[in-house]
Amino acid sequence: MAGIEHPYGQALMEFAQGKPIVLPKGTAKSANQRAQKAALALAIAVQTQTGFAAAITQAREIFQLQLDNGHMALALQDGLNEYMIPDTHAFIWYSAIGTLHELAWNRLDAAMDGVKALKQLTLQWWQHHLSLCSVMSVSPENGHAGGDALLNVGSIVSPGARAAAGRMSFHRDAIYRKRFGIPQVGNAKNANWWTPRAPDLVGPFWFAKNLDTLPPTTKIGPKFLPMLSNPMTVQRHTLGFRAFFKDGVIPASAFDPTVRAWMDYPNRKAGFTLLPSGPSQPEPGPPWPGELVKEYRVKGKVPNPV
Residue ending a domain, among 194, 223, 252, is: 223
Say if 306 falls within a structural domain.
no
Q: For residue range 259-270, list pLDDT tens digits in order.
A: 999 999 999 999
Is residue 2 very low, low, confident or very high in pLDDT (cuts 50, 70, 90)?
low
Predicted confidence band of residue 149 (pLDDT cuts 50, 70, 90): confident
Report yes or no on 209 lying in a domain.
Answer: yes
What average pLDDT does the segment 185-199 reach?
97
Give 180's Cβ-side CA count (13 Å radius). 24
Which residues are within 8 A (CB) of 167 and not within 5 positions of it... i.e. 6 or more apart?
86, 258, 261, 270, 272, 274
Q: Do 243 and 177 share a domain, yes or no? A: no
| Domain shared by 289 and 205, yes or no | no
Q: Which residues are within 8 A (CB) of 292 and not within 5 positions of it... i.e. 6 or more apart?
A: 235, 236, 237
The Cα–Cα gap between 175 and 81 comes to 22
pLDDT tens for 87-114 read 888 999 999 999 999 999 999 999 999 9
- Residues 86 and 208 reside in one and the same domain: yes
Average pLDDT, the chain: 92
CA distance 162 to 248: 18
Tell me, yes or no, whether 262 and 211 share the same domain.
no
State whether 170 and 94 are in the same domain: yes
Smallest CA-to-CA distance from 176 within 122, 140, 146, 226 is with 140
The answer, yes or no, to whether residue 145 has pLDDT greater than 70, is: no
Q: How many domains does the chain have?
A: 2
Do 276 and 132 have their domain in common? no
> Are both 24 and 125 inside the same structural domain?
yes
pLDDT one-digit tens code per residue, 217-253? 999 999 999 999 889 999 999 999 999 999 888 776 6
306 pLDDT exceeds 80?
no
Angle made by CA atoms 273, 279, 283, in degrees to the nearest 5: 50
Judge whether residue 181 has pLDDT over 90: yes
- Any domain includes 304: no
pLDDT of residue 162: 84
Q: Are the C-beta atoms of 205 and 16 separated by less than 8 Å?
A: yes
Residues 198 and 254 in one domain: no
Q: Is residue 28 part of a domain?
A: yes
pLDDT at 144: 67
Domain carrying residue 290: 232-298
pLDDT at residue 1 is higher than 50: no
Q: Is residue 57 part of a domain?
A: yes
Stated pTM of the model: 0.96
Say if residue 75 is in the same domain as residue 112.
yes
pLDDT tens sequence across 21-56: 999 999 998 889 999 999 999 999 999 999 999 999
Instruction: Kindly report, residue by residue over 152-168, the tens digit of the pLDDT.
Output: 999 999 998 888 878 89
The mean per-residue pLDDT over the stretch 195-204 comes to: 98
- What is the model's pLDDT at position 16? 98
- Specify whether 130 is located in the same domain as 214: yes
pLDDT at 132 over 70: yes
Half-sphere exposure (Cβ direction) of 122: Cα atoms closer than 13 Å: 30
Instruction: Inform me whether the pLDDT recorded for 72 exceeds 50.
Output: yes
Burial class (CB in 10 A: 0-12, 13-18, 19+), 15: buried
Mean of pLDDT values over 45-72: 97
| 218 and 237 co-located in one domain | no
Q: Domain check: are 215 and 252 in the same one?
A: no
